[in-house]
Structure 1
Amino acid sequence: MFIRNESFYSFRRQYPIITILVAIHLILFVWMNFLPFGNYIRALGIGYNLAVANGEYWRLITPIFMHIGAGHVLFNSFSLVIFGPALERMLGKFKFILVYLITGIIANIATFYLGGLAYPPHLGASGAIFGLLGMYVYLVINRKDLIDRMNSQLVMTIIIIGLVMTFVNPNINILAHLFGLIAGAALAPLFLIGAKPYYAEQRVFVDHGEPVFDPNRWQKKRRNNKRLKQAFWIGLGILVLFGLLSRVL
């Protein structure tokens, strides 16, 4: 579920919503940091509770797509590429983008109501990404038919590490992370109705389209397990690196 071995063209074709979201992240990052009117775009879209209280409600949405630091935009985009594809496939394009936006907005609403008017300005897709992770929490606990044991262990380990880092590192919007996670888990029962396992479509086909027996399936399974373990350590290293970067960005 979390191993990406598609080409860029194949990934773009199979997961168009994730591709568009990552493109928006990068375009806005480049614009805000290097192009004319970048400061204006940042000032207009950043999450700012006092401005929301004065009627600028679009600030509950726009921060979901905005990043300033290079480490921030790369980490969030990487997380979306790793954790998003399985859910985009299981939910479908429309429900996936709906979950992503709703959880991100709920994270920003929680920041507004619980953070108070003096809460520091905030931006980033972390609340929405934690919303996706919240859906995985529900999958692990209540929909074991949609996720296997190895992937359950992997994603729960990453979620625990992410929560620990949320409280340990400075300059993190704790409210957005927590309520994004809660919102994703709460929405999961509704949005996962009719969902099929991600691996349901991962079958071997001959040219005429009929499924055939794959004699190498056990060897492939061992290789996949090895790749999952490698992905875990790679993910752990990225999370630790992000923790270090968040102290200086």
Structure 2
Amino acid sequence: MFIRTENIQTFVRLYPIVSTIVITHVICWVFFSVQTTFTNFVLEKLIGTNTYIRMGEYWRLFTPLFLHLHFGHMIINSVSLILFGPALEKMLGTYKFIIVYIWSGIFANIATLFLLPPLYSHLGASSAIFGLFGVYSYLIVIHKNIIDRQHTQIILTSLCIGVIMTVTNPNINTIAHTFGFLGGATIAPFIASRPNPYTI
């Protein structure tokens, strides 16, 4: 379920949404890593800054999901998505997977807006990825036949590692990670009530 053996072409064909998101991560990182007056201006318009969101720039609740602070940040989130996204994309289907991913990220960014200071800025896909773990947690509890014991242990271990990294790193948006997970868990009963068995 979480071991990838496909070549790139097969992976893209089987998991188009995960592939599109990861490609978007890479393109955005490459574009904004070239620091010019123009790219810095565009980046400033896309980062989730609470003050500007309160002023009506609501796209900033969405755009941070595809932006990253540095190369390592982008790689960690992209690899996490490559590992844990495909099975869920297959089990939920394309459109439901999109809904879960975007909803979890936006839900987390709304929480960030209300619970963190006005000048707080944020970016990264971590909140949406935590949302995927929220759905997995729902499936583990409610649909025990969908995910076997071995993969359940992998999910819970990975989630625990994510939680530990969240609470021990002062630069991580703890609110976003927490509410990203809650966003996925709360929408799961509506979006994942009849998951498809994972098959390639």
Q: TM-score normalised to the size of structure 2? A: 0.96
Aligned to 1:221: none
| 108-117 or 26-35, larger mean C-alpha shift | 26-35
In the aligned structure 1, how far is the partner of 2:156 from the partner of 2:73? 22
CA distance in structure 2 between the aligned counterparts of 1:174 and 1:73, rounded to whole angstroms: 18
CA distances 1:153-205 after superposition (whole Å, capped 9, x unpaired): 1110110111011010121010000000011111111111321221xx35xxx
State the alpha-carbon separation in 2 of the partners of residues 6 and 137 from structure 1: 26
- Tell me the distance in 1 between the aligned counterparts of 2:52 and 2:59: 10
On the 8 A contact 1:33/1:68 being kept in 2, the answer is no
State the shift of 1:35 in Å.
6.1
2:197 partner amino acid: P
Runs of 4+ displaced beyond 2 Å: none
User: 1 CA distance for matches of 2:196 and 2:55?
Assistant: 44
Query: For residues 35-90 of structure 1, what are the alpha-carbon distances to aligned partners after superposition, in whole Å with 9 as ceiling and x for unaligned?
Result: 65221121010010011111111100000011130100000000000000001001
2:132 — aligned with what? 132
Provide the rounded CA distance (Å) in 1 between the counterparts of 2:189 and 2:145.
Answer: 13
Aligned partner of 2:159 in structure 1 is 159
Identity in percent? 49
Q: Which residue of 2 aligns with 1:22?
A: 22
Deviations 1:122-148 (A, max 9, x none): 100001000001111111122112100
What residue identity is the alignment partner of 1:118? L
Matches within 5 A, 1:158-197: 158-197=158-197
State the alpha-carbon separation in 2 of the partners of residues 80 and 175 from structure 1: 20
Equivalent runs, 1:98-109 vs 2, <5 Å: 98-109=99-110
Aligned-pair Cα RMSD in Å: 1.1
Which sections of structure 1, spanning at least 5 residues, go unmatched? 203-249
Distance 2:68 2:101 in 1: 17
Are 1:31 and 2:31 matched, yes or no?
A: yes
User: In structure 2, what is the Cα distance between the partners aligned to 1:114 and 1:31?
Assistant: 31
The correspondence of residues 62-141 of structure 1 with structure 2, limited to 5 A, is 62-119=63-120, 121-141=121-141
With normalisation by structure 1, the TM-score equals 0.78
Equivalent position SS for 1:145: coil
- How many pairs align? 199
The equivalent of 1:215 in structure 2 is none
**Letter in structure 2 aligned against 1:149:** R
